[in-house]
Chains A and B, each alone.
Chain A
Amino acid sequence: MERNFCLLILFSCSLFGSENFWFSYKVATENKILVYEERNISPFMQDSEVSEYKSLCRIDAIKEEHQSTEKFLNQHFAKLLTCFYPMSTQVINKTLVELKGMDESSVLTITPTRFTVDFKDEFANINILR
């Protein structure tokens, strides 16, 4: 029963999980030093009916033959992050100043955004879905 259920999940992944992904990011700093980082790149598990794409950026890198798209995106995460910063970035900051000193903490969150990867010969186009 469990095996069938797992196979069903894998089958539905391959059926509906296309090259559409979710991207979200969270970083926490304390006194201007990074203390926590959370990166999320996951396949979009629902069949998308959105047909409106907006070009976001271009990653100048070649995808290897047997490399998965997720691995490619994780490999070039720094470039991908730079693309997503101007999207919708939420910042929450709290600064405490006392007689003995001060303490500052910030949490920066890039809200989840759907995007697609379009691989060309020598680069990959990142498009966001609206």
Chain B
Amino acid sequence: MNKWIITLFVGMGMIMLFNGCAMTEYKADAPVKVKQEPKVIVQKVSKEEIKKVLAEEKLLYINNNPDRVFAVNGEGIAPQNTVSPAQAMALAKRAAVADAYRQMAEKLYGVQINAKDTIKNAALYDSRIVSQVNGIVKDATITEHTFKDGLFIVRMELKMNGARWKEIFAY
């Protein structure tokens, strides 16, 4: 009986000895499992690409601030003492352009107004209103012009980015 038990244990021992290594097959080329860490991608970016990204962001900013268009109609009258109709038209155009610039400056910079009323014996005796405009206008363009009955009319437009307008003129 003891002989059988010893033979059984020795047999099981032999089986475990020879099969134990064979179960975990070793492969030299098999990848070694390493604990995976979160991926961090390091990418070199050129200056041009940075500029492009900034420009795109700026473009988005511009889209949020649409262009504002200021439009005015300037009028000029031909003088009486002109030699020819052509001269009258040319001079009326100069006056119309000056008037258009005046109106444009009014819109952009505002008008300074001083007013004085004089009352005498409970009645208005004198009234005097002085309005002044002073400003520099750039990049305004004349889009239309007409000349009829001695009156020259020019349409002037000035396009400006909304953000820039707020930065310069809003108060």
A interface residue numbers (CB < 8 A to B) = 27, 29, 31-34, 37, 78, 82, 85-99, 106, 108, 111
Quick check: B95 and A29 within 8 Å, CB to CB?
yes
In this assembly, does B91 line the interface, its C-beta being within 8 Å of a C-beta of chain A? Answer: yes
Q: Are the CB atoms of A92 and B133 closer together than 8 Å?
A: yes
Cross-chain contact of A89 among B75, B95, B134, B137 (Cβ < 8 A): B137
User: Contact check: which of B128, B141, B142 meets A97 at CB < 8 Å?
Assistant: B128
Complexed CA–CA distance, A10 and B6 (Å): 132
27 contacts between A and B (CB under 8 A): A27-B95, A29-B98, A29-B99, A32-B75, A32-B99, A33-B78, A34-B91, A37-B94, A86-B140, A86-B141, A88-B136, A89-B140, A90-B137, A91-B102, A91-B104, A91-B135, A91-B136, A92-B133, A93-B132, A95-B130, A96-B128, A97-B130, A99-B126, A106-B99, A108-B97, A108-B98, A108-B101
Query: Are B98 and A106 in touch, CB under 8 angstroms?
Result: yes
Note all chain A residues with C-beta closer than 8 A to B94: 27, 29, 34, 37
Q: Is the CB of A89 within 8 A of B131?
A: no
Q: Does B36 contact A (CB under 8 A)?
A: no
Residues of A within 8 A of B79 (CB): 33-34
Considering only CB atoms, which chain A residue lies closest to B76 in the complex?
A32
Tell me if B3 counts as interface (CB < 8 A to partner A). Answer: no
Query: A5 → chain B, closest Cβ, in Å?
Result: 39
A82 → B minimal CB distance (Å): 8
Q: Out of B75, B105, B127, B139, name the residue touching A86 (CB < 8 Å).
A: B139
**Which residues in B have some Cβ–Cβ distance to A below 8 Å?**
75-79, 90-92, 94-99, 101-102, 104-106, 126-142
- State whether B105 touches A91 (Cβ < 8 A): yes
From residue A102, how far is it (CB to closest CB) to chain B in Å? 9
Within the complex, the shortest CB–CB distance from A55 to chain B, in Å, comes to: 15
Given A29-B76, A90-B136, A91-B135, A98–B128 Cβ distance below 8 Å? yes
Chain B nearest Cβ from A90, distance in angstroms: 5
| Alpha-carbon separation in the docked complex, A32 to B75 (Å) | 7
Top 5 closest pairs, chain A to chain B, by CB = A93-B133, A97-B129, A108-B98, A91-B101, A93-B102
Contact B105 A96, beta carbon cutoff 8 Å: no
Further contacts, 16 of them, CB under 8 A, given A85-B140, A90-B136, A91-B105: A27-B95, A29-B98, A32-B96, A34-B95, A78-B90, A88-B138, A91-B102, A91-B104, A91-B135, A94-B130, A95-B130, A98-B128, A106-B98, A108-B97, A108-B102, A111-B136
Distance in Å from the Cβ of B39 to the closest Cβ of chain A?
48
A29 to B142, CA, bound (A): 19
Q: A93-B105, A94-B130, A96-B129 are in contact. Are A33 and B95 (CB under 8 A)?
A: yes
